[in-house]
Amino acid sequence: MEIENDGLLGAWLVDADGRAESIGWSHLNQPVEQGAWRWLHFHRDGPGAQSWLLDGDIPPNQIAWALMADDTRPRYTEIDGTGLLFLRGVNLNEGAEPEDMISLRLSIDPHTVITVGLRRLRTIDSLMEDFAHGDVPATPGLLVERIICALRQRAEPVVDELEEIITQHELNALRDTGAPNVETRNAFTDARQDAVILRRYMVPQAEAIRTILRKSPRWLHARDILEEEAAAHDRIVEDLDSVRERAAVLRDEMGTRLAERMNEIMLALSIVSVVFLPITFVTGLFGMNVAGLPLADVPWGFWVVCGFMMLCTGITAFMLWRMLRR
């Protein structure tokens, strides 16, 4: 995400009538009128954003430093009446991997919502377009709820795709009784790793939503919306758990088939080795450069030795055939 406008990527002032007005740096320190609120979106690495957040009174200093953290995990807490919410969204940027989830940091009070990001997040881009077209939430709480809902909605197709990949591998395993090829194993492994990474953030994100419901902060608008979101996040986690469990079963099946294929190859090599063992012995014996070798001076000795080797080979092959039939 490019650092534009010294780190201020978007700022909106929503009046008491629900009309949103785009504002700039000069309006950020002005007080908010009764019934109005504002949404400020910053790039964390913008010099102006860092200066405004760390040197000002909004948000509290401890929350401002938390917004600047290098690494975050989804959670919710409150400091001096201001909520601090860390979320994660799937990475839908071009050329990126969805499981490389992007951190979104929020500072929330009844009059101001501050969002801070390190990279471009499609959810925030879409919300800013909504503000530009007049589709504005009535309260800060509704904005936060809309962000949580949008992040979840963009994560669901990614989880569905992982389920489809695992389902396709299961169908392939039923149709093909042979050992899986390298491409199949790599695709399956990637899907399994993606599920693990997504679950790493979706579980604490669901818990962060429940923490908001337990604390019931002043900015919370409608509990039923967040309750539904918590349940939706639980369903995503359950789907990811299902993907992991199905992947584990499929991995065992792939391992079994690879082992069976390896055993078949080793058996074939063993049979070939046993069949040619008598021939190797005879040729080695008659290849010694010592005096006294039988049939060395007989014209038809070569054919006698060849016949003897064929007889030994036939007897060995017959014995192996009898053993394998048991």
Would residue 77 count as lying in a domain? yes
Would residue 63 count as lying in a domain? yes
Which of 217, 238, 258 finishes a domain?
258
Give the pLDDT score at 204.
94
H-type alpha helices, 22-139: 47-55, 61-67, 122-132
pTM: 0.77
The 8-class DSSP code of residue 323 comes to H
Residue 30 CA neighbour count, 13 Å, CB half: 14
Give the pLDDT score at 178.
61
Give the pLDDT score at 313.
80
- How many Cβ atoms from other residues are within 10 Å of residue 215's Cβ? 12
Averaged pLDDT, groups of 10, the chain, 326 residues long: 73 89 87 89 89 83 89 91 92 77 92 91 91 90 94 92 83 68 72 86 94 91 89 93 83 75 79 78 75 74 79 79 71
Beta strands in 201-253 (DSSP E): none
Co-location of 178 and 321 in the same domain: no
Q: How far from chain centre, in Å, is Cα 280?
A: 55
Give the pLDDT score at 4.
61
Co-location of 310 and 199 in the same domain: no
Question: Could you list the residue range(s) of the whole structural domain that residue 190 is in?
Answer: 5-258
Co-location of 274 and 254 in the same domain: no
Give the pLDDT score at 39.
94
Number of domains in the chain: 2
Would residue 264 count as lying in a domain? no
Co-location of 254 and 294 in the same domain: no
Co-location of 164 and 107 in the same domain: yes
User: Cα Rg for the chain, rounded, in angstroms?
Assistant: 35
Would residue 263 count as lying in a domain? no
Co-location of 97 and 230 in the same domain: yes
Would residue 56 count as lying in a domain? yes
